[in-house]
Amino acid sequence: MSAAAEIQARQVARPRADALRNRERIVCAARGMFAELGPDVPLDDIARTAGVGNATLYRHFPDRAALIHAVVVSVLDRVHEQVRRAATEESDPFAAVRRFVHAAADERIGALCPMITGDFDRNHPDLLAGRDRLEDAVRELIERAQSAGRMRRDVAVGDLLVALGQLARPLPGTGCTELDRFVHRHLQLFLDGLEAPARSELTGRAITLEDLRGPGAY
């Protein structure tokens, strides 16, 4: 293969830097607009907010489902990074749990729920990998806090993820600005109930990841 042909082959195999930047701008704009306005926001509005043309958006994401998929994977990756940072930067293991919960809310993880509906492909390999990576990291965070006697032992990772998803989910007809007025207050009330020693006995049993794998669950 000639040098020119080799360079051309590398260019075809590896997206250009500007193309990668455009893709990230689209995902970033969609992440914010989906969280604020819902998953049915016009794609033309997303392209305009991202500062790209419609053709650029559709070149990266041929339909709404492809863009939603990319946003979900992006949120999972960003929240996983928040878990990692909390675990490494906080000396108090329960402070790490607290920091992660508030950071995940700021990443709009609750807005994932309305997007994952209908024919959304929950079994796509990169989605499953991102979900498993996040869940493993959260489990380690919880177990560390429980082993240190800083978090009650009658809860599990499923309890935390369900509560976080519900409390951080925007209410119908409200956007992120309205959500920000109360979400961290309510999350703090929830976190106070997780801290050891426990102040009451919980009914039922802890929610596990296997419970979240049930029919219709994400």
CATH number at residue 148: 1.10.357.10
- Same-domain pairing of 30 and 107: no
* Total residues belonging to the chain: 218
Q: Does the model's pTM come out above 0.85?
A: no
- Same-domain pairing of 120 and 171: yes
pLDDT for the residue 94? 96
Torsion of CA 71, 130, 142, 179, to 10 degrees: 10
- Same-domain pairing of 87 and 47: no
Residue 123 has pLDDT above 90, yes or no: no
Q: Residue 158's closest CA among 91, 84, 214?
A: 214
- Same-domain pairing of 58 and 133: no
- Same-domain pairing of 115 and 56: no
SS3 36: helix
- Same-domain pairing of 198 and 116: yes
- Same-domain pairing of 151 and 211: yes
pLDDT for the residue 13? 47
Of residues 218 and 200, more confidently modeled: 200
pLDDT for the residue 14? 53
- Indicate the residue among 62, 81, 102 that finishes a domain: 62
Q: What is the CATH number of the domain that holds 14?
A: 1.10.10.60
Could you identify the residue written with the tokens 């309205």?
Answer: 178
SS3 216: coil
Beta partners for residue 195, in sequence order = 151
- Same-domain pairing of 95 and 47: no
ω before 62 within 30° of 0 (cis)? no
- Same-domain pairing of 37 and 93: no
Q: Are 99 and 184 in contact (CB under 8 A)?
A: no
Of residues 72 and 212, more confidently modeled: 72
SS3 195: strand
SS3 63: coil
- Indicate the residue among 12, 36, 62 that finishes a domain: 62
- Same-domain pairing of 81 and 118: yes
- Indicate the residue among 19, 38, 62 that finishes a domain: 62
CA–CA gap between residue 218 and residue 212 (Å, rounded): 6
- Same-domain pairing of 101 and 186: yes
Tokens (6 digits) for 175 = 């956007």
Question: pLDDT tens across 58-108, in order?
Answer: 999 999 999 999 999 999 999 999 999 999 999 999 999 999 999 998 888
Q: Are 156 and 103 in contact (CB under 8 A)?
A: no
Residue 216 has pLDDT above 50, yes or no: no
Tokens (6 digits) for 24 = 């990230």
- Same-domain pairing of 130 and 207: yes
* Domain enclosing residue 137, as ranges: 64-218
Task: Report the domain count for the chain.
Answer: 2
Q: Are 158 and 103 in contact (CB under 8 A)?
A: no
State the first-to-last Cα distance of the chain, in angstroms, to the nearest integer: 48
